[in-house]
Amino acid sequence: MSSADQSGYLASFHEDHGTEPVLHAIDYEDVALTREGARMVQVGAQAVMRQYMPGVDFEKLTQAQAVALFVDKLFWEEHSGGLIMCTDVADKSVCLPIPRKLWTIRRDQDGTLQ
């Protein structure tokens, strides 16, 4: 997270949960977003593009393209169960917090957790 994004996130997290976040790196291939979660990522990606890529037509961004923008760095937050998806733009990281109810660990075809 950028320093401004990080300090705001940490303050908000501490206020909501009464503790500092504990982050664990997670591979994007192990994550499944709900439809609402993918939509949240799409809206976040459009905002990032609007701010950092003004020449790009962000209205045509698909959900798959938006999610692909945020798969470089993913973290699971231990206390809230939330997911934090990050992308690097303009020499900083921009991260989207995804609530626990909007994502899950992907399961194999036989139903076991990856």
Token reading at 23: 């982050």
User: Residues of the chain with pLDDT > 90: what percent?
Assistant: 59
* pLDDT (tens digit per residue) in 58-87: 888 999 999 999 998 999 999 999 999 999
pTM to 2 decimal places: 0.75
Domains of the chain: which residue ranges? 22-105
Report the C-alpha gap between 26 and 56 in whole angstroms.
29
What b-and-e string marks burial along 25-40, b requiring 16 or more CB atoms within 10 Å of the CB? ebeeeebebeeebbeb
CB 105 within 8 A of CB 96: no
pLDDT(113) > 50:
no
Q: What is the pLDDT of residue 62?
A: 93
| Range 92-104 average pLDDT | 94
Token reading at 71: 């798969």
